[in-house]
Amino acid sequence: MKKNIAVFASGTGSNFININNKIKINQINGKICLLVSNNPNSGAVKFCIDNDIKFFIYNHKKFPNDFNNKQLIDKMLFYNINLILLAGYMKKISNHFIDLFNNKIMNIHPSLLPLYGGKGFYGMKVHEAVFKNKEKETGATIHFVDYHYDTGPILMQKKVDLTQDDGPIEIANKVLKIEYEIYPKVVDFFCNDKILWKNNKPIIKE
């Protein structure tokens, strides 16, 4: 039985679009039931409009007093969501929300965590820091979400080598290729019940 997926995205939604495309060609045993975005003008929302995917705009302007994400939780329950994917989502989720969907929320981060993680490290800011520090390699990390930025249990990482000629944009492009490769793979593992937990650490049973 296919798992019900919600994707949270604030920007272009390129990982969201990539995962949706993999679902279309049956490479992921799941279905995207809902996109959540704080940004009604985002590329992710435009993709939903063009492709008849349901979306929910959730921000402080629309829900100024929803401190525990009750409106968001209600949406997850309505769609019977099994897996939540953060894909460039720029808002912090409440602890109450995380408790309710424990081990069901994944995030992708454009570095080899714990390097270049935490508050303030996102998108190009990560790649600029990698470039500034003359790193020889970088990569992408998929992890489950806990109460803090980028500190949850790591599920998968992949590295990419960097050259002296790689500026922040080249680094970003290299990392994005890795993201497109490993995020759908891990999502499919989850959808096929291949992620087990041992001592609070996720293990992939291939």
| Per annotation, catalytic residue among 96, 109, 127, 143 | 109
Crossing angle for the helix pair 168-191 and 14-24, nearest 10 degrees? 40
Query: For residue 87, what are its two tokens?
Result: 């894909």
Parallel, antiparallel or unpaired: strands 137-144 and 154-161: antiparallel
How far out from the chain centre does Cα 17 lie? Answer: 12
Q: Which amino acid is at 94?
A: S
**What gap in Å lies between CA 124 and CA 24, rounded to an integer?**
29
Residues in the chain: 206
Active-site residue, 109 included: yes
Where in the sequence numbering do the catalytic residues fall?
109
